[in-house]
Amino acid sequence: MIDARCAIDADELLWRFEPSGGPGGQHANRSHTRAVVSFDIAASPSLSEAQRARLRAQVGDVCSVAADDERSQRRNRDLAQRRLQQRLADALYVPPPRRRTRPTAGSVRRRLADKTEQSERKVARRRVRPED
């Protein structure tokens, strides 16, 4: 489930488990705890055409997420699944269009007063010429 409008079957996800990188001794070198999940957006039957087009434009044809934060493969699998869900939900989000607004009368007055004040400041900085 990505959000209220879109759900994906679990069998559409492709899981891989790899050894976590970095130092850590025998446990890190021997156990495959890094979880990598891939979702083929282009071939998914769960998505509508509009959703597929939006995801492909935002993410690409295949979305892959990895997690190796924890020592447990199960916890890394849950983390990867949540990250994939969040990434797809963020890509599906369409921000509302911006509505143009007019400045308030007070803000226009303040802006013009600031401009006048700045202009007077610059006039005061000019060199005074002696009268002939």
Domains of the chain and any CATH numbers: 10-92 (3.30.160.20)
pLDDT (0 to 100) of residue 101: 94
Q: Give, in order, the Cα–Cα distances in Å from 2 to each of 15, 23, 111.
A: 17, 34, 46
Which two three-digit tokens encode residue 77?
Answer: 């699998």
Distance, CA of 38 to CA of 15 (rounded, Å): 7
Whether 61 contacts 105, CB under 8 Å: no
pLDDT in tens, the chain (132 residues): 676 677 888 888 999 998 877 676 677 667 888 999 999 998 888 888 998 999 999 999 999 999 988 888 899 999 999 999 999 999 988 899 999 999 999 999 999 999 999 999 999 998 887 776
- Whether the full predicted model's pTM is greater than 0.75, yes or no, is no
**pLDDT tens digits for range 37-50:** 999 998 888 888 99
